[in-house]
Chains A and B, each alone.
Chain A
Amino acid sequence: MSLNAGFPKDCAADRVGGIKDIHITTKDDVASFTGTNGTYTAVVMETGKIFVKYEFEQDVAEWRESGEGVKGAKQYTHEVEFVLPALTQLQRDAIQDLADQACGLIIIVTLSTGIKFVVGSSDKFLLDRPAYFLSDATTSGQALLDPDQSTVVLQSIDATKASIFTGSIPIV
């Protein structure tokens, strides 16, 4: 098998870091993604189902993926981390909702550059390896100036880098 192409240096590429927003739905609400080879051009949703938005303060969210290989075998771990501020009933319920989704989650992360990545679906496994709630670190803080907040991490593990999504995000 030959390499498809090299990588041409693009000095005009937008290289700003960070995440603009995160949209999440349950695996059961997504029928499939359209497209292959690392690009999804559309998402097929069950009737009337949509993604919901998790909002956060500036510079407190991150999408990351790490890959490892052993003699041709490969594994990619995708993680989405964000901080939800203020320990309120609303905040508590939003996190519990994520933790309760035993069938998994599908996440669309929009980077600051505007590029969107899908976490929880892949060419090889389709929707069979969705994202799950991994951790929640909640703290009241100790001093008055300490932030009261929860740091949430969602994770999926599959065999390829995340796919780019060029469709529109299903929202109201």
Chain B
Amino acid sequence: MYDIDESLKGKDIWTVNGKIEIDNATDKQLAELVKLGQPGITKKEKKPSKE
């Protein structure tokens, strides 16, 4: 669950593991990009559960 900045939409990001199509990226791939320091990708905060 990640928010992706508009500026990254449609882009291809090439990491050491090959190409990541940002529009079709899995959460695992997005996590990899965050770990690499890719700007424009942020993890969504969990909403507090209602009790």
Contact = CB atoms under 8 A, between A and B. Distances in A.
A126 to B, nearest CB: 12
Contact of B36 (A35, A45, A170): A35
Contacts of B13: 34, 42-45
A41 B15 CA distance: 6
B28 interface: no
Interface in B2-37: 7-8, 10-19, 33, 36-37
Contact of A45 (B14, B16, B39): B14
Per DSSP, are chain B's interface residues mostly helix, strand or loop, or mixed? mixed
14 contacts: A31-B7, A31-B11, A36-B37, A41-B16, A41-B36, A41-B37, A42-B38, A44-B8, A44-B38, A45-B14, A47-B11, A47-B12, A49-B12, A170-B14
A72 interface: no
Interface residues of B, number: 17
- Chain A interface size, as a band, is 10 to 19
A111 interface: no
Nearest to B12: A45
Interface in A48-63: 48-49
A8 B47 CA distance: 49
B17 to A, nearest CB: 7
Contacts of B19: 168, 170
A58 B6 CA distance: 44
Contacts of A166: 16
A167 interface: yes
Contacts of B18: 168
A9 B12 CA distance: 38
Contacts of B7: 31
A49 B7 CA distance: 16
A99 interface: no
Contacts of A170: 12, 14, 19
